[in-house]
Amino acid sequence: MIPADFLPPALGPQRTFALVAGVERYEISHRWNLRGPARDALRFAQWLTGPAQVPPGNLRLLLSPLDDPDALDWPDSPAMADLRAAYRPATEENVKAALLDELPQCDGDLLWIFWAGHGYLGPRQELMLPCADARPSQIRHLNLDSALRWWRTDLVKHRSFPLQAALVDSCRVDAPRDARINFGSTDYGGGSTVPGRRQFRLYASREGEAAQNDAERGAGRFTEALLTELGPRSLRESVSGLPAAARSIHRTFQDLRERGEGWQLPQFLVDRDWDACSFLDDDPTAPAPPGAARLDQQAWDGLGELFEGHELPRCAYEAYAWAFKAAGCTTPVGGGLPGDGLLEVVQDLDERQGGRGGMPPAVAFVRFLADRAAAAGDAVWAGRLVDWVHTTRERLALPVLPPPPPPARTTVVHVGLEPPPDGAPGFRARMWLSGERTEQIWESEGAPVRLDAVREELLRQLALVGAAPADGGGAGPRTPGGVDRIEFHVPYELLDTDFDQWPVPRGPAGRHRALGLLHQVVVRCPQERADTRAEWRTSWHWLCTRGGRHAEAVRVVQEAEITDALGMELAERPAPACVLAHTTAAPHAGLLEAVLEGGVPVAVWRRGGGAPEPPLLDLLAPAGPDGRPDPGALDVLALPARVREVRRAAAGAAGAAGAAAGGQRAAQQPAGEDQLVLLWDDPDDIPGFRSLA
């Protein structure tokens, strides 16, 4: 039983809503039909409108029975009579309309989702519930896991539906591998996760197991046991008692299993309780581990003053992730920040409370911000943040907080190229060295220079960057660790130039290596961002505040998608922040125009076009649970290093092939992976942005 203060004070029948679905008939084949789910849905709706006293107008009832709907055993009550007149078939269109359009607009405290019918697990172990209009060419379905993720985001009213319960009487077996049966890919997306929403899931079977249905009685075994537990309970009693009811059902099914009664052989599984904790393997009576202290009102008052007028800084996600580590607990799996403001992030951290060490993650978060503000030269704000941390620690008797890690240092050589104003051949060129500080290290003088001259000067500067002074004096090399990345700031026409293939002397006997194998090499085009600077900066900031990873951060653009409207489409939202081009034509045929017009800061393509084999996503993104590349796991902020890894792997494969061929090169041209071009426009790091003219 959960404590009474867990429930919203206003929770009652009027603020309770439900989607109730029972699917017996499927268009795909008569072999899919089964008897019982429609009756189960009616019985659950009867409990909602009966003992729970939920108004029938708060229910969305979807039924696709085997027989004529009028032949169903409709309970005799005014509420069920209203539902009899209002129910709809359980098609995908009706399911999405009810669950993703109508119910989210309601103002409630509790959402029930009851589903009875077939159920299958997709490649990523997501529960797919086929709808009545499922056909072989397209198994229209509800992706329950995706829908529940959607319901935890700010696409649902921020303070609505803090409690959500999904009760599913279906199998959870792997989807058929028949090529004629196509479930496709269904993901409803979502916004930012709203902290404080709690979800409870009850499934009739474990992963890989079938749920049993009594066709003669027209009832699912799970629904039968569930309604027995709910019985005459009121709404508030049923909600607070759901974990206890689940444990009781589990014990009943376990006893039947041990007695060898065949139809109960699949063990009932309860997924998680209201606190998202497994209560089947743990002792529910054991005391909860002590949590960390929470912020008091004085701390919140201080933060309100400190954060006023301050947007999320670039380091916000780093601070968020480190706060969990400092508090002794694990960073949330989903990635990204829980809100768009500093107070929202701290609220999320305070609600999580942290580990057993006693340090609130919120305090660690502010400490990290103070450290980075000081490093960025904002000594006033940094001092105020440090004072808040000090006084809060003393007042709440918090333990010592370890210092945050220093910011990662990346040494970058920026190479700026601009055509001369008179249209003469060649380029005006300038180079900067950016590390602990930024300094100009070279500028062309007099007549414009050719790219060959720029390459020779770049090689000379790279040799000087890590070299000790010739006379033995001074403080040593300017960058002891060498150059990490080379960024070419170029006019639009040079974006596809093979800078990464420039030969660099390496080793004995005049050996050369490609520049892109030794350093991270990217191209930039900041001069073309003038008209979409706001979209460009917004997209980059969105990416940074999500730690570089997000399900919507990366978009693969196919040939057919490159139209005159693509740039405007990309500019509509901060996501995507990265475009992977699967195009056969050269990128100047429209792709790069759309990327720059849309304010997208990152893009990857193959130089000169050509069929994208293997696909760029396969090259760059880690594999998901199903073995396929997962765009949401691709760290866009780490792409410069990742692209260099791909280039090195291609060079190694080519070398191995050459050795196998008797020392001859396997191919005259570099491998396709060597031809990757990475557009990397960080709007916060553009030294000397003024024109070279």
> Cα(484)–Cα(12) distance, rounded to whole angstroms?
60
Q: How many C-beta atoms lie closer than 10 Å to residue 75's C-beta?
A: 17
Residue 439 bridge partners (DSSP): 433
Least confident of 12-16, 430-434, 452-456, 687-691: 687-691
Split at pLDDT 50, 70, 90, the class of 626 is: low
Split at pLDDT 50, 70, 90, the class of 180 is: low
Residue 330 has a pLDDT of 65
Pairing of strands 428-434, 412-418: antiparallel
Q: Is the pLDDT of residue 276 over 80?
A: no
Tens digits of per-residue pLDDT, 493-515? 999 999 999 999 987 777 889 99
Mean pLDDT of all residues belonging to the chain: 83
Residue 585 has a pLDDT of 72
Dihedrals φ, ψ of 519, to 5°?
-135, 160
- Which residue in 670, 688, 672 sits closest to 515, CA to CA? 670
CA angle in degrees (0–180, nearest 5) for 142-146-149: 135
Least confident of 289-293, 294-298, 461-465, 488-492: 289-293
Q: Is the pLDDT of residue 458 over 50?
A: yes
Residue of higher predicted confidence among 672 and 200 = 200
Residue 267 has a pLDDT of 37
- Which residue in 345, 389, 384 sits closest to 364, CA to CA? 389
Residue 225 has a pLDDT of 87
Q: Is the pTM of this model over 0.85?
A: no
Residue 315 CA, distance from chain mean position:
18
Residue 375 has a pLDDT of 87
The most confident of 90-104, 133-147, 161-175, 244-258, by mean pLDDT:
90-104
Residue 138 has a pLDDT of 83
Mean local confidence (pLDDT), 404-416:
90
Mean local confidence (pLDDT), 184-207:
83
Q: Is the pLDDT of residue 474 over 80?
A: no
CA angle in degrees (0–180, nearest 5) for 91-93-99: 100
Q: Is the pLDDT of residue 642 over 90?
A: yes
Q: Is the pLDDT of residue 260 over 70?
A: no
Residue 619 has a pLDDT of 87
Name the token pair of 32: 């899919």
Residue 442 bridge partners (DSSP): 431
Residue length, the chain? 693
Q: How many C-beta atoms lie closer than 10 Å to residue 628's C-beta?
A: 13
Residue 31 has a pLDDT of 80
Residue with tokens 């019982």: 36
Q: Is the pLDDT of residue 265 over 60?
A: no
Q: Is the pLDDT of residue 471 over 50?
A: no
Helix 297-307 to helix 342-352 angle (10° resolution) is 150
Tens digits of per-residue pLDDT, 18-49? 999 999 999 988 888 888 899 999 999 999 99
Residue 666 has a pLDDT of 42
- Which residue in 399, 392, 408, 486 sits closest to 441, CA to CA? 486
- Which residue in 568, 571, 564, 579 sits closest to 539, CA to CA? 571
Q: Is the pLDDT of residue 550 over 90?
A: no
Mean local confidence (pLDDT), 527-541:
91
Q: SS3 for 649? A: helix
Q: Is the pLDDT of residue 208 over 80?
A: no
Name the token pair of 517: 């194998």
Tens digits of per-residue pLDDT, 332-381? 655 677 777 899 889 888 876 655 567 888 999 999 999 999 988 899 99
By the 8 A CB rule, do 194 and 202 touch?
no
By the 8 A CB rule, do 160 and 106 touch?
yes
What torsion do the CA atoms of 592, 597, 603, 605 make, to the nearest 10 degrees?
A: -10
According to the 3-state scheme, what is the secondary structure of 383-426?
A: HHHHHHHHHHHHHHCCCCCCCCCCCCCCCEEEEEEECCCCCCCC
- Which residue in 372, 365, 370, 374 sits closest to 342, CA to CA? 365
Q: SS3 for 305? A: helix
Element (H, E) at 79: helix 78-86
Residue 271 has a pLDDT of 47
Residue 73 has a pLDDT of 86
By the 8 A CB rule, do 164 and 113 touch?
yes
Mean local confidence (pLDDT), 106-122:
92
Mean local confidence (pLDDT), 54-73:
92
Residue 637 has a pLDDT of 93
Give CA separation, 576 vs 392, 601, 659, in Å.
39, 9, 42
Q: Which residues, in sequence order, are CB contacts of 216 under 8 Å at separation 6+? A: none
Q: Residue 397 region, left (φ>0) first, then alpha (ψ -120 to 50), else beta?
A: left
Least confident of 195-199, 353-357, 419-423: 353-357
Pairing of strands 173-174, 120-121: parallel
Split at pLDDT 50, 70, 90, the class of 112 is: very high
Return the DSSP state at 356: T
Q: Which residues, in sequence order, are CB contacts of 536 under 8 Å at separation 6+? A: 529, 599, 600, 601, 681, 683
Split at pLDDT 50, 70, 90, the class of 517 is: very high
Q: Is the pLDDT of residue 534 over 80?
A: yes
By the 8 A CB rule, do 111 and 161 touch?
yes
Least confident of 194-198, 255-259, 430-434: 255-259
Q: Which residues, in sequence order, are CB contacts of 451 under 8 Å at separation 6+? A: 427, 497
SS3 content of the chain, % helix, strand, coil (to 5): 40, 15, 45
Tally of CA atoms within 13 A in the half-sphere of 312 that contains its CB: 27
Give percent of the chain above pLDDT 70. 83
According to the 3-state scheme, what is the secondary structure of 152-170?
A: CECCCCCCCCCEEEEEEEC
Q: Is the pLDDT of residue 283 over 60?
A: no
Preceding peptide of 614 cis, ω within 30° = yes
Q: Is the pLDDT of residue 411 over 80?
A: yes
Least confident of 53-57, 264-268, 397-401: 264-268
Q: Is the pLDDT of residue 262 over 50?
A: no
Split at pLDDT 50, 70, 90, the class of 97 is: very high
Tens digits of per-residue pLDDT, 121-139? 887 788 999 999 998 778 9
Residue of higher predicted confidence among 645 and 692 = 645
